Amino acid sequence: MRNLNNKLFGKFLRYPCSVKSHDSRKHGLFHHTFKLLKQISNLNDVGNKTKDLCLVGAVFHDIGKIKSLHNYVEKSKNIYSYDFLIGHKQNSIEIFDDLSSRINNFPSIYHRLIKNIIIWTHNVDYDVPGTLPGKIISILDNTDAAISSLIEKDKKISVGRFSKLPYQKNYYYKAI
């Protein structure tokens, strides 16, 4: 079990967060998660229970990418694999289920709330009610992903140039 966890943790530290969306470089997954943890540590008005749930939720919200991106990272192949088909959120839930099942008497309410956080990342699921920790992680996650993506794109543009960025309707101008 220790070996398995070391393997999982090693991938968590090493993997990119995406192929080309944001934090798409070595250690990107850990860096993105760490930025969320830093933001959560500054939340002082939510109470300890919500803050703790946010911290654990942040660690697990993207962890499924170590399965989804396995082909891409380990075999230098395209991203498509069985685990990619399932999607990283479901992979995150499976990893969380596996690890939490090894803890005796893990409280079922926290189990459910952490899964709610994972499901709530990236998009609104109208079938799943949002919770305070779920919405906080969703906002922080989207914001960090958007800013990181913008910074990465900005580095590729020369000063004084206009450019069209993916998913943006107006032009982008690199002023400095």
Residues that bind Fe ion (CB under 5 A): 62, 141
Smaller CB separation from Fe ion, 4 or 146: 146
d(CA 116, CA 123): 12
Least distance between Fe ion and beta carbon 23 (Å): 8
State the first-to-last Cα distance of the chain, in angstroms, to the nearest integer: 51
- Residue listed under structure tokens 């994972």: 118
Least distance between Fe ion and beta carbon 135 (Å): 14
Least distance between Fe ion and beta carbon 176 (Å): 28
Smaller CB separation from Fe ion, 62 or 83: 62
d(CA 138, CA 122): 6
Least distance between Fe ion and beta carbon 46 (Å): 19
d(CA 3, CA 40): 30
Neighbours of 6 (CB within 10 A): 10
- Residue listed under structure tokens 């993506």: 149
